[in-house]
Structure 1
């Protein structure tokens, strides 16, 4: 019989991974800033075009712009946290579902324990 089991995948923080994460964060932040500026431009355009429904459209744009600003703040927080982490730290990357074979006579405690895969620079270095 097979059962589904959750496996946690963790990355070991290396200098290479740290650079990749910082680059990814900067790209995300840049994209969000472009979206924010685009929304601001569209808001001004809509204000000029639809003077009667100015308040409703302004609220919608403000809400979307605030979402972008919140995401930018979150990214800045993650960058700060990343700078505090020492090299060699394990970062949870994802959780996967695997099929595990269960047979009569197997130790349930061995099957029940959460499995973890440790990756360093794209190579599996440990399975716990």
Structure 2
């Protein structure tokens, strides 16, 4: 026997409660990014005015840095909006990959290697472990 480490996929079953929780969190993130963009616009104008007194090169660098920050936040916000639209369209009961954790697995002579390679999954439903699968098959306690 040998013990190996293996990633375990953690998935959750999309229920109405989970769907609303995800959508609420993503909407909060969109609002936060929108607020950051507004703050960046205000601070950016002030920084740009200060930089103008130091010369055109400094002002250009400040302008570029502000534009980069703005573009990063706009891109993040657009990705969140797309994710919101995708979640809204998903059917209840869909399994969604959430994260990955690691476990150890005992490998014995005679084990089916293909099942070991398929790994394990933990399925969460409304915050409770609903099912554990190893090699694609449910594990019975």
Alignment of 1:119 with 2:106, yes or no, is: no
Q: Give the TM-score normalised by structure 2.
A: 0.85
Give the gaps of 5 or more residues in structure 1. Answer: none
Q: Give the TM-score normalised by structure 1.
A: 0.93
How far 1:103 moved relative to its partner?
A: 2.5
Q: Distance in 2 between matches of 1:54 and 1:109?
A: 60
Q: Distance in 2 between matches of 1:32 and 1:58?
A: 20
Counterpart secondary structure, 2:46: helix
Moved more, 39-48 or 8-17: 39-48
Which residues in structure 2 correspond to 1:1-128 (within 5 Å)?
Answer: 1-51=2-52, 52=55, 53-128=58-133
Moved more, 62-71 or 111-120: 111-120
Moved more, 59-68 or 44-53: 44-53
Moved more, 104-113 or 35-44: 104-113
Counterpart secondary structure, 1:116: strand
CA RMSD of aligned residues (A): 1.2
**What is the aligned length?**
128
- Runs (4+) of structure 1 exceeding 3 A deviation are none
